[in-house]
Amino acid sequence: MMNEINTLDKAKAIHEKIISWRRDFHMHPELGFNEHRTSGKVVEVLQNLGLKVRNGVGKTGVVADIGSGSPMIAIRADMDALPLEEKNDVSYASQNPGIMHACGHDSHTAMLLGVAELLSKEKFSGTVRLLFQPSEECADEDGISGAPRMIEDGAMEGVDMVLALHVGPMVPTGQIQVNTGPISGGVDSWFGKIIGRGGHGASPQKTIDPFNICSHVIMALNAIVSRRLAPFTPAVVSIGSLNGGHTENVIPEHVEITGTLRYMEEEIHKELHQEIRRSFELAKTLGGDYELKFEIGDPPMINAPRAVELIKAVAADLIGDENVTPMDDSLGAEDFGRFSSMVPGAMFTLGTKIAGDERFGHNPLFDIDEDALPIGTAILVDAALRYLGEK
């Protein structure tokens, strides 16, 4: 049975292996539900460790169990990349044009393989389930992302607690952030069409200009949070795209506008839908019409107290209590909440800041300090063992 010091030492002993996995995934990024090479590599490593593996879970996900019986704790890592062209000049830069691991999922996957290697050498009662999840960043043709697809395929059956981490490029290496309660926003997408009457640009009086109508709708949308909600309500309504027309002298029939909304409370969720519809109703007031639909996304992610205390206790032993701090407030979305809404769960932020540099997520220059990889691996290993009563 490992003690806290040895866990980190053992993770450092396989540091180069974790780095090699991470760089391999980074060089060969794949988009959501297309992680065929990635999941194949994961299956290969897990089978070489002697683990029983299920692939094709949630389309391209992988599930492996270490141990047997109850209780069961699950650890999740997401595997998908983003549609970005990498700008880093490094030996492990993406070899797939227009696709990049710009959110750290390559390192999440590599660390969970490190967890698998360390735990495969341990004896303990109960089960550790490894969830290698596809498509956290996007949804399929039905608007469903990887976590609910894995749940549909039975990935959470028998699970009593679920944990995860996410790299934090602005958090110093050697630190983690974690706290209870809501730690990410619920998210929906909305898709609108402002319908007018097209015509010649030289005769606007004969048209119902959808651009003019859209300008009023945009003003109303941008005033929802500042003027329709209480001042201290965490919420966002953002416009992401605006498209209309094909040539400079023709007023088009319609303009398409899309965006996202974020929230922390279900009542605010409903109110945002109502206010967005109210904004689009201006189209009718101004002589046009509109179409509007919502794509319901993931709920807010809630960190359960029991899971947070487990992470805090383990991290304090490994890296010192002074290096365990609260998370920054964020309305970023995460479908890990689908797992943690079923059983007590928590996600923590692993500090991966490159000293003297700034690397932001979802950016072509994103990168991490790879010295953080053993720390994340060790925390997850010890958390699993402590939960199962072996530490």
C-alpha–C-alpha distance, residues 203 and 158, integer Å: 67
C-alpha–C-alpha distance, residues 95 and 87, integer Å: 12
Instruction: Return the amino acid letter for 150.
Output: M
C-alpha–C-alpha distance, residues 86 and 92, integer Å: 11
C-alpha–C-alpha distance, residues 169 and 368, integer Å: 6
C-alpha–C-alpha distance, residues 232 and 226, integer Å: 10
Residue 59 zone, left/alpha/beta (φ > 0; ψ -120 to 50; rest): left
pLDDT at 329: 83
Per DSSP, helices labelled H in the chain are 4-13, 15-27, 36-48, 105-119, 146-152, 210-222, 266-280, 282-285, 305-319, 337-340, 373-387
Domain boundaries, the chain: 4-183+300-387, 186-296
The dihedral over CA atoms of 67, 69, 74, 78, expressed in degrees to the nearest 10, equals 60
DSSP state of 204: G
pLDDT at 5: 54
pTM, to two decimals: 0.90
List average pLDDT for each run of 10 residues in the chain, which is 391 residues long.
70 98 98 98 98 97 97 98 98 98 98 98 97 96 94 98 97 97 93 98 98 98 97 96 97 98 95 98 98 93 97 98 93 92 97 95 97 98 95 68
CA 221 to chain centre: 26
> In the CATH scheme, what is the code of domain 186-296?
3.30.70.360
The dihedral over CA atoms of 144, 147, 149, 154, expressed in degrees to the nearest 10, equals -160
- Which helix (H) or strand (E) is 134 found in, with range? none
Helix and strand numbers (H, E) in the chain are: 11, 16
pLDDT at 332: 85
Nearest to 252 by CA among 294, 214, 293: 214
* 4-183+300-387 to CATH, choices 3.90.1570.10, 2.40.30.30, 3.40.630.10, 3.40.228.10: 3.40.630.10
List C-alpha distances in Å: 307 to 98, 222, 310, 339, 347: 37, 37, 5, 13, 9
Structure tokens at 80: 């998908």
